[in-house]
Amino acid sequence: MAVDLHALYPKLIHLMLDTVFVVDINDHIVFVSDACEALLGYRPDELNGTAITRYMHPEDLAATRASIGRVMSGQSHFDFRNRYLRKDGGVVYILWAAFWSEEVGARIGVARNVTALAQAEEELRFLAHHDPLTKLTNRSLFNDRLESALRAAHRHDSQLALLFLDVNDFKRINDVHGHAVGDRVLCVIAHRLESCMRETDTVARMGGDEFTVLLTDVHSRAAISNKLEQIHTIMAAPLGPEFGALKMPLCSIGVAYYPEDGKDADTLLTYADGEMYRMKKHRSVDSEAPGT
């Protein structure tokens, strides 16, 4: 018995997990397969006759229009990605394969939902440059930004400051209260540091209980002194009730200025680290003095 393939094709198209779109020369949808409801949240009858551009993410519209132009000029696309807006307001990432059909007088595209893949890639890119616990900039990205800031400071004959911060007696928190509590304290410190910085400043976790802050466009030592006072004040605030009787640990901060204390990244980091240990030692001596 012969199989009527022409009768079978429409059913096969609607069985596909990917969505098939047929769009006319004026960007209006003339056909869309049933999978569109899972992709965009719309039934086919809601999409047919409407402009496909109204569902495109505004930030991707220009790139998508350029892609459409290439497809309509005869360049088939098999790896174009963009974002669309779902009926419920969500965003979906789509991988397209598309071509222009002179015979039909329309462009035909197959859309695959790659949202999970795009989110995984974005997370990997984020983790490559950020600390997974605190979400702060990590050592690698901080070093890159410091090098860039030093080049800019050299070009414009400007100043910058580098802060090196260490949490005093942090090991005791881990030993007595556990590493989970210690991690939560580090997250509090990270949040508090970020809250008193400008968008142009960079806060990083270098590892363990050590943090660095890059302050660019420094106009005076007084401005840095005020910033240090602000940091010490916010760090002195008590921990939340979820920490019980645990007290907020004190922090020691060392400062290095460009160009006075060094003209390269390693020298500045070493100087700020040394100043931090000097402050920590000074605080330790004060705490051990009689009557303190």
Catalytic residues: 209
C-alpha distances (whole Å) from 192 to each of 26, 168, 230, 282 are 53, 16, 10, 24
Secondary structure tally for the chain: helices H, strands E:
10, 9
C-beta atoms surrounding 178 within 10 Å: 11
- Upstream peptide bond of 259 is cis (omega within 30 degrees of 0): yes
**Contact partners, residue 83, CB within 8 Å, separation at least 6:** 56, 57, 59, 60, 91, 92, 93, 94
CA gap 134, 126 in Å, rounded: 12
Q: Are 142 and 150 in contact (CB under 8 A)?
A: no
Q: Which of 214, 198, 216, 215 is nearest to 206 (CA)?
A: 214
DSSP line for 121-154: HHHHHHHHHB-TTT--B-HHHHHHHHHHHHHHHH
Q: Are 257 and 282 in contact (CB under 8 A)?
A: no
- Whether the CA torsion 5, 8, 13, 16 is positive or negative: it is negative
CB-side neighbour CA atoms (13 Å) of 281: 6
CA gap 249, 170 in Å, rounded: 7
Structure tokens at 221: 């030592």
